Amino acid sequence: MQFDKYIRNNLQKQLQHNLQRRFSRRQMLQFTGLSGLGLALGSCGTSLYVDKVRPIFEPLNQSIEELILKPQTPVPEFPASAIEPEALLVNSFDFTPIINPNTFKLVIDGAVDNPLQLSMSDMRSLPLTSMVIRHVCVEGWAAIVQWGGVRLLDLAKLVQPQAGARYVYFESADGYYESWDIASSLHPQTLLAYQKNGETIPVENGAPLRLASPIKLGYKQSKWVIRVTFAKELSQRRGYWVDEGYEWFAGL
Ligand SMILES: Nc1nc2c(c(=O)[nH]1)N[C@H]1C(S)=C(S)[C@@H](COP(=O)(O)O)O[C@H]1N2
Ligand SMILES: [Mo]
Protein backbone atom coordinates (compact mmCIF):
# COMPACT_ATOMS: atom_id res chain seq x y z
CA MET A 1 0.00 0.00 0.00
CA GLN A 2 2.87 2.31 0.79
CA PHE A 3 4.20 1.73 -2.69
CA ASP A 4 0.82 2.59 -4.12
CA LYS A 5 0.67 5.83 -2.21
CA TYR A 6 4.20 6.67 -3.21
CA ILE A 7 3.43 6.41 -6.88
CA ARG A 8 0.36 8.59 -6.52
CA ASN A 9 1.98 11.28 -4.45
CA ASN A 10 5.62 11.48 -5.36
CA LEU A 11 6.25 10.05 -8.76
CA GLN A 12 3.14 10.90 -10.66
CA LYS A 13 4.50 14.06 -12.23
CA GLN A 14 7.65 12.44 -13.52
CA LEU A 15 5.74 9.45 -14.84
CA GLN A 16 2.95 11.47 -16.36
CA HIS A 17 5.30 13.32 -18.60
CA ASN A 18 6.28 10.17 -20.40
CA LEU A 19 3.08 8.24 -20.00
CA GLN A 20 0.50 10.67 -21.22
CA ARG A 21 1.83 10.46 -24.72
CA ARG A 22 1.19 6.74 -24.85
CA PHE A 23 -1.69 5.88 -22.57
CA SER A 24 -5.34 6.79 -22.39
CA ARG A 25 -6.64 8.57 -19.29
CA ARG A 26 -8.25 5.36 -18.07
CA GLN A 27 -5.00 3.46 -18.40
CA MET A 28 -3.22 6.28 -16.56
CA LEU A 29 -5.63 5.95 -13.64
CA GLN A 30 -5.07 2.23 -13.58
CA PHE A 31 -1.36 2.81 -13.72
CA THR A 32 -1.37 5.14 -10.76
CA GLY A 33 -3.46 2.54 -8.95
CA LEU A 34 -0.46 0.20 -9.27
CA SER A 35 -2.37 -2.61 -10.99
CA GLY A 36 -1.32 -0.57 -13.97
CA LEU A 37 2.34 -1.40 -13.56
CA GLY A 38 1.85 -4.73 -15.24
CA LEU A 39 -0.61 -3.24 -17.61
CA ALA A 40 1.71 -0.44 -18.60
CA LEU A 41 4.47 -2.92 -19.30
CA GLY A 42 2.10 -5.02 -21.32
CA SER A 43 1.05 -1.95 -23.22
CA CYS A 44 4.58 -1.18 -24.28
CA GLY A 45 3.88 -3.26 -27.34
CA THR A 46 4.45 -6.71 -28.68
CA SER A 47 8.14 -5.94 -29.05
CA LEU A 48 8.53 -7.31 -25.51
CA TYR A 49 8.10 -10.76 -26.97
CA VAL A 50 10.77 -10.38 -29.63
CA ASP A 51 13.38 -11.68 -27.19
CA LYS A 52 11.83 -15.16 -27.23
CA VAL A 53 13.67 -16.10 -30.41
CA ARG A 54 17.01 -16.16 -28.61
CA PRO A 55 18.45 -19.62 -27.83
CA ILE A 56 17.33 -21.16 -24.53
CA PHE A 57 20.83 -21.87 -23.20
CA GLU A 58 21.56 -18.17 -22.96
CA PRO A 59 21.09 -16.94 -19.40
CA LEU A 60 19.99 -13.50 -20.59
CA ASN A 61 17.11 -14.51 -22.78
CA GLN A 62 14.18 -14.02 -20.42
CA SER A 63 11.97 -11.15 -21.42
CA ILE A 64 11.97 -8.13 -19.16
CA GLU A 65 8.28 -8.66 -18.61
CA GLU A 66 8.86 -12.21 -17.43
CA LEU A 67 11.65 -11.13 -15.07
CA ILE A 68 9.46 -8.44 -13.57
CA LEU A 69 6.14 -10.26 -13.34
CA LYS A 70 7.48 -13.68 -12.35
CA PRO A 71 10.35 -12.95 -9.94
CA GLN A 72 13.12 -15.54 -9.78
CA THR A 73 13.36 -17.94 -6.84
CA PRO A 74 15.01 -16.35 -3.80
CA VAL A 75 18.20 -17.79 -2.32
CA PRO A 76 17.67 -19.13 1.25
CA GLU A 77 18.61 -16.56 3.87
CA PHE A 78 20.21 -16.78 7.32
CA PRO A 79 18.52 -16.05 10.65
CA ALA A 80 19.34 -12.68 12.22
CA SER A 81 21.32 -14.55 14.90
CA ALA A 82 23.84 -15.59 12.22
CA ILE A 83 24.89 -12.00 11.42
CA GLU A 84 28.67 -11.49 11.83
CA PRO A 85 29.02 -7.77 12.50
CA GLU A 86 32.82 -7.82 12.60
CA ALA A 87 33.39 -10.05 9.58
CA LEU A 88 32.57 -7.58 6.81
CA LEU A 89 35.93 -6.07 5.95
CA VAL A 90 36.04 -2.71 4.24
CA ASN A 91 37.32 -3.20 0.73
CA SER A 92 37.74 0.08 -1.11
CA PHE A 93 40.31 1.68 -3.38
CA ASP A 94 41.54 5.22 -3.88
CA PHE A 95 39.27 7.12 -1.52
CA THR A 96 35.97 7.07 0.32
CA PRO A 97 33.53 9.47 -1.31
CA ILE A 98 31.37 11.52 1.04
CA ILE A 99 27.88 11.92 -0.42
CA ASN A 100 25.38 14.28 1.18
CA PRO A 101 22.25 12.12 1.57
CA ASN A 102 20.02 15.21 1.74
CA THR A 103 20.90 16.49 -1.71
CA PHE A 104 21.83 13.19 -3.37
CA LYS A 105 19.72 11.89 -6.21
CA LEU A 106 20.08 8.47 -7.73
CA VAL A 107 19.84 8.68 -11.52
CA ILE A 108 18.14 5.80 -13.32
CA ASP A 109 18.35 6.09 -17.07
CA GLY A 110 19.34 4.39 -20.31
CA ALA A 111 17.04 1.94 -22.13
CA VAL A 112 13.98 2.78 -20.03
CA ASP A 113 10.70 4.48 -20.86
CA ASN A 114 10.57 6.54 -17.65
CA PRO A 115 13.99 7.74 -16.52
CA LEU A 116 13.87 8.90 -12.90
CA GLN A 117 15.91 10.74 -10.31
CA LEU A 118 15.22 9.56 -6.78
CA SER A 119 16.19 11.29 -3.56
CA MET A 120 16.91 9.25 -0.44
CA SER A 121 13.47 10.15 0.89
CA ASP A 122 12.01 8.80 -2.37
CA MET A 123 14.02 5.61 -1.83
CA ARG A 124 12.80 5.30 1.76
CA SER A 125 9.20 5.67 0.59
CA LEU A 126 9.56 2.61 -1.62
CA PRO A 127 9.08 -0.88 -0.16
CA LEU A 128 11.95 -1.83 2.16
CA THR A 129 13.33 -5.30 1.51
CA SER A 130 15.53 -6.79 4.20
CA MET A 131 17.70 -9.88 3.87
CA VAL A 132 20.43 -11.72 5.79
CA ILE A 133 22.90 -13.10 3.26
CA ARG A 134 26.55 -14.07 2.88
CA HIS A 135 28.90 -11.56 1.28
CA VAL A 136 31.80 -13.36 -0.42
CA CYS A 137 34.99 -11.54 -1.46
CA VAL A 138 37.39 -13.24 -3.90
CA GLU A 139 40.23 -12.21 -1.61
CA GLY A 140 39.28 -15.08 0.70
CA TRP A 141 36.87 -13.71 3.29
CA ALA A 142 33.13 -13.84 3.75
CA ALA A 143 30.60 -12.33 6.13
CA ILE A 144 26.94 -12.85 6.96
CA VAL A 145 25.32 -9.44 6.74
CA GLN A 146 21.85 -8.01 6.92
CA TRP A 147 21.08 -5.51 4.18
CA GLY A 148 17.96 -3.39 3.83
CA GLY A 149 16.97 -1.36 0.82
CA VAL A 150 15.00 -1.19 -2.39
CA ARG A 151 14.89 -4.04 -4.87
CA LEU A 152 16.13 -3.17 -8.33
CA LEU A 153 13.07 -5.14 -9.40
CA ASP A 154 10.81 -2.53 -7.77
CA LEU A 155 12.79 0.30 -9.36
CA ALA A 156 12.46 -1.42 -12.75
CA LYS A 157 8.67 -1.41 -12.36
CA LEU A 158 8.88 2.36 -12.10
CA VAL A 159 11.34 3.13 -14.88
CA GLN A 160 10.03 0.46 -17.27
CA PRO A 161 13.08 -1.01 -19.02
CA GLN A 162 12.69 -1.32 -22.76
CA ALA A 163 12.31 -4.71 -24.41
CA GLY A 164 15.93 -5.02 -25.53
CA ALA A 165 17.51 -4.06 -22.20
CA ARG A 166 19.83 -6.92 -21.22
CA TYR A 167 22.39 -5.29 -18.94
CA VAL A 168 22.51 -2.79 -16.11
CA TYR A 169 25.43 -0.45 -15.47
CA PHE A 170 26.24 0.89 -12.02
CA GLU A 171 28.37 4.01 -11.65
CA SER A 172 29.92 4.81 -8.29
CA ALA A 173 31.10 8.09 -6.82
CA ASP A 174 34.67 6.78 -6.39
CA GLY A 175 35.06 5.99 -10.09
CA TYR A 176 34.20 2.31 -9.62
CA TYR A 177 31.85 0.87 -12.21
CA GLU A 178 30.14 -2.45 -12.79
CA SER A 179 27.77 -4.07 -15.26
CA TRP A 180 25.34 -6.89 -14.51
CA ASP A 181 23.14 -9.12 -16.63
CA ILE A 182 19.50 -8.08 -16.46
CA ALA A 183 18.29 -11.34 -14.85
CA SER A 184 20.70 -11.01 -11.90
CA SER A 185 19.87 -7.32 -11.59
CA LEU A 186 16.15 -8.06 -11.37
CA HIS A 187 16.60 -10.97 -8.96
CA PRO A 188 14.26 -10.41 -5.96
CA GLN A 189 17.28 -10.21 -3.60
CA THR A 190 19.29 -7.68 -5.58
CA LEU A 191 18.98 -4.47 -3.58
CA LEU A 192 20.15 -0.91 -3.60
CA ALA A 193 20.74 -1.02 0.12
CA TYR A 194 20.75 1.88 2.56
CA GLN A 195 20.84 -0.22 5.75
CA LYS A 196 23.48 -2.59 7.10
CA ASN A 197 22.69 -4.76 10.12
CA GLY A 198 19.63 -2.65 10.88
CA GLU A 199 21.31 0.75 10.75
CA THR A 200 22.04 3.35 8.10
CA ILE A 201 24.96 2.08 6.01
CA PRO A 202 28.27 3.56 7.23
CA VAL A 203 30.12 5.70 4.69
CA GLU A 204 32.92 3.14 4.25
CA ASN A 205 30.37 0.46 3.30
CA GLY A 206 28.88 2.59 0.52
CA ALA A 207 26.48 5.21 1.91
CA PRO A 208 24.00 6.33 0.93
CA LEU A 209 23.33 3.49 -1.56
CA ARG A 210 25.17 0.30 -2.47
CA LEU A 211 24.37 -2.90 -4.28
CA ALA A 212 23.76 -6.00 -2.18
CA SER A 213 22.88 -9.44 -3.54
CA PRO A 214 23.42 -13.07 -2.47
CA ILE A 215 23.95 -14.19 -6.08
CA LYS A 216 27.16 -12.32 -6.98
CA LEU A 217 30.71 -12.04 -5.65
CA GLY A 218 31.73 -9.03 -3.57
CA TYR A 219 33.37 -7.07 -6.36
CA LYS A 220 30.03 -6.90 -8.22
CA GLN A 221 28.42 -5.17 -5.22
CA SER A 222 29.17 -1.55 -6.03
CA LYS A 223 29.28 0.91 -3.16
CA TRP A 224 28.33 4.63 -3.44
CA VAL A 225 26.07 3.95 -6.45
CA ILE A 226 25.06 7.24 -8.05
CA ARG A 227 23.71 6.07 -11.40
CA VAL A 228 21.91 2.98 -12.70
CA THR A 229 21.78 2.69 -16.48
CA PHE A 230 19.83 0.01 -18.33
CA ALA A 231 21.56 -0.96 -21.57
CA LYS A 232 20.92 -3.05 -24.63
CA GLU A 233 24.59 -3.72 -25.26
CA LEU A 234 27.59 -4.37 -23.07
CA SER A 235 30.40 -1.92 -23.81
CA GLN A 236 34.13 -2.62 -23.56
CA ARG A 237 34.01 -0.94 -20.16
CA ARG A 238 32.45 -3.77 -18.16
CA GLY A 239 33.65 -3.37 -14.60
CA TYR A 240 36.55 -2.00 -12.61
CA TRP A 241 37.96 -5.41 -11.64
CA VAL A 242 36.44 -7.21 -14.61
CA ASP A 243 38.47 -5.03 -16.95
CA GLU A 244 41.56 -6.20 -14.99
CA GLY A 245 40.70 -9.81 -15.81
CA TYR A 246 38.16 -10.85 -13.18
CA GLU A 247 35.17 -12.86 -14.37
CA TRP A 248 32.25 -10.71 -15.54
CA PHE A 249 29.30 -12.87 -14.46
CA ALA A 250 30.82 -13.65 -11.03
CA GLY A 251 27.81 -15.64 -9.82
CA LEU A 252 27.70 -17.40 -6.46
N1 LIG B 1 32.57 1.76 -5.35
C2 LIG B 1 33.19 0.65 -4.90
N3 LIG B 1 32.46 -0.44 -4.69
C4 LIG B 1 33.04 -1.58 -4.26
C5 LIG B 1 34.43 -1.67 -4.06
C6 LIG B 1 35.19 -0.47 -4.29
O7 LIG B 1 36.41 -0.43 -4.13
N8 LIG B 1 34.54 0.66 -4.72
N9 LIG B 1 35.00 -2.84 -3.65
C10 LIG B 1 34.21 -4.08 -3.90
C11 LIG B 1 34.69 -5.29 -3.22
S12 LIG B 1 36.01 -6.10 -3.89
C13 LIG B 1 34.03 -5.82 -2.15
S14 LIG B 1 34.47 -7.30 -1.45
C15 LIG B 1 32.93 -5.08 -1.49
C16 LIG B 1 33.27 -4.83 -0.07
O17 LIG B 1 32.22 -4.16 0.59
P18 LIG B 1 32.51 -3.56 2.02
O19 LIG B 1 33.70 -2.64 1.91
O20 LIG B 1 31.25 -2.88 2.42
O21 LIG B 1 32.82 -4.75 2.90
O22 LIG B 1 32.64 -3.85 -2.13
C23 LIG B 1 32.76 -3.88 -3.52
N24 LIG B 1 32.25 -2.65 -4.04
MO1 LIG C 1 36.04 -8.15 -2.89
Give the model confidence (pLDDT) of 104-115 as tens digits.
999 999 999 999
- Choose the weakest-confidence range: 54-58, 85-89, 131-135, 166-170: 54-58
- Cβ of 146 less than 6 Å from ligand 1: no
Q: Which ligand is the nearest neighbour of the Cα of 178? A: 1
pLDDT tens digit sequence for 172-197: 999 999 999 999 999 999 999 999 99
Counting from 1 in the atom list of ligand 1, the atom nearest the Cα of 172 is 1
**For residue 87, what are the contacts with CB-CB under 8 A and spacing of at least 6?**
141, 142, 143, 144, 145
Predicted pLDDT of residue 119: 98
Spacing, Cα 225 to ligand 1 middle (Å)? 11
The alpha carbon of 120 is separated from its chain's Cα centroid by a whole number of angstroms, namely 15
Residue owning the nearest CA to atom 16 of ligand 1: 91
Tens digits of residue pLDDT in 216-251: 999 999 999 999 999 999 999 999 999 999 999 999
- The pLDDT value recorded for residue 186 is 98
Burial 51-78 (b: 16+ CB within 10 A, else e): beeeeeeeeebbbbbbbbeeebeeeebb
Flag whether pLDDT at 204 surpasses 60: yes
Q: What is the mean pLDDT of the chain?
A: 83
Ligand closest to Cα of 97 equals: 1
Instruction: Give the sign of the dihedral formed by CA 228, CA 38, CA 215, CA 196.
Output: positive
Q: pLDDT grade, residue 61 (50/70/90)? A: low
Atom from ligand 1 closest to the CA of residue 135: 14
Ligand 1 contacts CB of residue 90 (under 6 A): yes
* pLDDT for residue 94: 73
Ligand lying closest to the C-alpha of residue 240: 1
**Ligand 1 centre and the CA of 152: distance in Å?**
18
> Which of 50-59, 72-81, 123-132, 239-248 has the least mean pLDDT?
50-59
**Is 80-244 assigned to CATH 3.90.420.10?**
yes
Would you state the pLDDT for residue 60?
Answer: 52
Domain residue spans of the chain: 2-68, 80-244
